[in-house]
Amino acid sequence: MSSGEPLVVEVERSGLIESTHLVDVAVTRADGELVARAGEPGTVAYLRSSAKPVQALACIENGWRAPGQEQVAIACASHNGEPRHVETIRATLSSAGIPEDALRCPAAWPFLPESAAAVDRPTPILHNCSGKHAAMLATAKVNGWTLEDYRAAEHPMQRAVAALVERLAGARVRHTGVDGCGVPTFAFSLTESARIFVRLADDGREVLDAMAGDPFLVAGTGRLCTAVMTALPGVVIKIGAEGLSCGVLRDQNLAFALKSRDGTQRARDVATVTVLEALGSVSDDVPDVLAPHAAPKVLGGGEQVGSVRCTGALKRA
């Protein structure tokens, strides 16, 4: 399949295009077939944090019984480390009888300055991936697996994730790496990544229900995932590092995966809203909660002097 035109995210300041970002997109339907695209849908990228709904589902399929829907949502999160995030993760650990110091994700500060000011040092539970780490530990404990090395690729927990992600993608992993939090991360084409999310609509309904039911826990204040799922109840999305975004339009039986070629967040976020608009999930009147992500302001001296916007269109595959 030959390459088409990618989406183009332009950063305009005082009437001049200051920078541009190219974005590739794949859209699949319920049977996993590619139906729309921009740029190169065969682009291979690590799932990074977009894998978290799959990782949470692997925990559930392997015996984890979350104490509540909140704990499922936080297992899917790239959270800000706000107080409710931390409290929810502590409930996951407490219900499984696991001490907080069993977490092996790196120590981190909260994402927001006001939250960071309320703590005296970085800790693992404040890391944005700590919710999934808590769920993995709880799953390891219920199965009698070792806890100390739950991040290792050969650990039964990570082997279960690898098997599940290949099952959902309908394809072998293209490449395996180490994610920022230390667990394995798997690379697929954008088409295969979208296929994972469209199949989660059936196989991972419990996980998607938890995410849609509590969008704040999946990210937090000011974040794209929380804004989209708050404004659009029929859509579940999960962003990943290096400009990746994946989501499923449950009311349309469609899923998408996109990636900014230069890995930038601002291109990823604007392009995500543009794709949702193109697929009919966002009307011409963009909800207020989505507006900062649809067309972020470019500031000069504290005043708006430009904006970030996305041009281009999805093409039928």
pLDDT reported for residue 1: 44
* Model-wide pTM > 0.85: yes
Domains of the chain: 7-316 (3.40.710)
Residues 165 and 51 sit within 8 Å (Cβ to Cβ): yes
Strands (E), the chain: 7-13, 16-29, 34-38, 44-46, 175-178, 184-189, 235-240, 244-249, 254-260, 297-300, 303-311, 315-316
* Helix residue ranges, H only, 33-110: 52-61, 69-75, 83-96
**3-state DSSP call for residue 78?**
coil
pLDDT reported for residue 91: 98
The pLDDT profile of the chain, 317 residues, written as one tens digit per residue, is 457 899 999 999 999 999 999 999 999 998 989 999 999 999 999 999 999 999 999 999 999 999 999 999 999 999 999 999 999 999 999 999 999 999 999 999 999 999 999 999 999 999 999 999 999 999 999 999 999 999 999 999 999 999 999 999 999 999 999 999 999 999 999 999 999 999 999 999 999 999 999 999 999 999 999 999 999 999 999 999 999 999 999 999 999 999 999 999 999 999 999 999 999 999 878 889 999 999 999 999 999 999 999 999 999 98
Contact partners, residue 30, CB within 8 Å, separation at least 6: 198, 201, 253, 254
pLDDT reported for residue 2: 52
